[in-house]
Amino acid sequence: MRRALLCCLFACLAPLPAAAFDLGDLMRHLVAHPGGKARFVETKHLAVLDQPLVARGEMTYTPPGRLEKRTLSPKQETLLLEGNRLSLQRDRQTLSIDLASQPQALAFIDSIRGILAGNRQALEQNYSLHLAGRLDQWTLTLLPRDMKIAELVLRITVQGSRGQLRAIEYLQADGDRTELRIEPSGGQ
């Protein structure tokens, strides 16, 4: 009886707006995001090239674990992440990778997957998280904890609004940088 009362009390408190925007709030919004289709523009700044490279396409996220990234230009390529299987289709060839076989790649993929799914526990396993901004315009910075991952990526910066991601930036260990801008196109 007392327990039921306590539960009721907490339930009443929960919907109240938090005084400050924190990681818990962000994760709740991310979890609640229904997924859907978005256009993306990916820009790579590579030291070896004189100009940045730009790719465009669409991505579709179906919670909790399916992500399809379809590049349309400059060359068609489809990347599909489902469970622990990453498959890549290009030039009529399909390459399938078992992520469990590649622990470092898995940790990297888990950063994207963890953000999309709002899985704080998975994110904190490999990264230390720093949140700035407000609910409508937040910036989450991920710094790798593991040296092995740090050899791949120095920093991941994610920007968004409520449960919707707007941009992801990867800063690689060799100084090259990739920016991914996301524009929701609505619909499932």
Partner 1 sequence: MRPALKSALIWLAAMAVGLWLIYSQARFNADMSFFLPSEPTPEQQVLVDQIREGAVTRLLMAAISGGDAQRRAALSQALRQQLLQTEHFISVENGVQESLDRDRDLLLAHRYVLSPAVTPERFTEAGLRAAITDSVDFLLSPLGALFKPYLTRDPTGELPTLIRQLNASAQPASRHGVWVSPDGERAVLLAQTRALGSDTDGQEAALNAFNAAFAALSPRFGDDFRLTLSGPGKFAVDARATIKDDIQRLTLISMLAIFAVLFTVYRSARLILLSLLPILSGVVAGVLAVALAYGTVFGITVGFGAALIGEAVDYSTYYFVQSGRSGVAAWRHRFWPTVRLGVLTSVFGFAALLFSGFPGLAQLGLYSIAGVVAAALVARYTLPDLAGPLPGRLAERPPLALNWICALPRARWPMLVLALVALTYIVVERQTLWQADISALSTVSTADARADGELRSDLGTADSRYFVVVRAADQESVLQAAEQAAARLEPLVADGTLAGYDSPTRFLPSQATQAARRAALPEPGELARRLQDASEGLPLSAARLQAFIDDVAAARVAPVLTREALAGSHLELAVSALTLHNEHGWSVLLPLHPAAGGDLSIPVARVQAALAGSDALFIDMKGEFDALYASYLDEAILLSLAGVAAVLLTLAVVLRQPRRFVTVTLPLVLAVLFVVAGLHLAGQALHLLHLIGLLLIVAVGSNYSLFFDLAEDGRHDPGTLNSTLIATLTTAIGFGTLALSQVPVLQAIGVTVGPGALIVFLLSAMFAPRRISQGC
Q: At what angle do helices 23-32 and 103-117 cross, to 10 degrees?
A: 90
Size of the site for partner 1 (CB under 8 A): 24
* Contact set for partner 1, span 53-112 (CB under 8 A): 53, 55, 71, 74-75, 77, 79, 88, 90, 93, 95-96, 98, 100-101
Integer Cα distance of 84 and 67 in angstroms: 12
From 102, 111, 61, select the one nearest 84 (Cα to Cα).
102
In order, the DSSP letters of 62-101 are ETTTEEEEEEEESS-EEEEEETTEEEEEETTEEEEEEGGG
166 binds partner 1 (CB under 8 A): no
Residue nearer to partner 1 on the CB measure, 25 or 77: 77
**Minimum Å distance from CB 74 to partner 1?**
5
**Minimum Å distance from CB 174 to partner 1?**
8
Task: Count Cβ atoms below 10 Å from residue 1 Cβ, excluding itself.
Answer: 5
Residue nearer to partner 1 on the CB measure, 24 or 175: 175
Biggest distance spanned by C-alpha atoms of the chain = 71
Distance, C-alpha 170 to centroid of its chain: 11
Cβ distance 153 to 108 under 8 Å? yes
**Minimum Å distance from CB 15 to partner 1?**
42
Which residue of 10, 13, 50, 136 would you call a contact of partner 1, by CB under 8 A? 50
Residue nearer to partner 1 on the CB measure, 28 or 90: 90
Q: Which residues bind partner 1 (CB under 8 A)?
A: 42, 44, 46, 48-53, 55, 71, 74-75, 77, 79, 88, 90, 93, 95-96, 98, 100-101, 176
